[in-house]
Amino acid sequence: MRRAPAALALALAALVAAPAAFGASGSLNDPDDDTLADVLRLSYANKEAKVVVRMTYDDYRPQVENFYVRWGTSGKYYKLQRSTNGTSLWYSNGSGESEKTCAGDRVRHDEETSVSTGAVPRSCMPQAPGKVKFQGIVTEGLFDFDETRTSSRVARG
């Protein structure tokens, strides 16, 4: 079995150890609901090069995860969605939504902590201003869903 080059191992270690404090960040709690789709906490970071949104679940990972980046007063957003169909990025100018191609958007899930992390590069969100708000919406089946509050505006950088 080939071993990973030492330089790669070091780079990976640096990624793991990198502080999450770059960029403005925050979090909000969500009620502990008696449902399968149950977000307990939303946390977010508006970094210079990307946004990172985390949802902590009440143990169970919902079928569909939506990580919202919102701004303005007319319902504009980018939405990173993870479902059984894969991961996709959507944009809305306030009426309807359209899918956008994006290299580098991703959703990762940690079963140990029941945390899903969505990340979208800023290069994939040309319409979004620097200051944005965050929200999480998850669904399970047709009727079970949970929706966090929308955060206050968070500065970029």
111: its two tokens: 């079963």
Does residue number 38 form part of the binding site for Ca ion (CB under 5 A)? Answer: yes
Does residue number 105 form part of the binding site for Ca ion (CB under 5 A)? Answer: no
Does residue number 33 form part of the binding site for Ca ion (CB under 5 A)? Answer: yes
Does residue number 39 form part of the binding site for Ca ion (CB under 5 A)? Answer: yes
| Beta carbon of residue 130, minimum distance to Ca ion (angstroms, whole number) | 29
Applying CB under 5 A, the span of 12-20, 38-46, 63-71, 123-131 interacting with Ca ion comes to 38-46
User: What are the b/e assignments for 87-117, b being 16+ CB within 10 Å?
Assistant: eebbbbeeeeeeebebeebebebeeeebbbe
Measuring CA to CA, which residue among 55, 115, 131, 51 is closest to residue 89?
A: 51
CA distance 122 to 48: 8
Does residue number 30 form part of the binding site for Ca ion (CB under 5 A)? Answer: yes
66: its two tokens: 């939506």
How many amino acids of this chain bind Ca ion (CB under 5 A)? 6
| Beta carbon of residue 116, minimum distance to Ca ion (angstroms, whole number) | 14
Q: Kindly list the residues in this chain that would bind Ca ion in the complex (CB under 5 A).
A: 30-31, 33, 38-39, 146
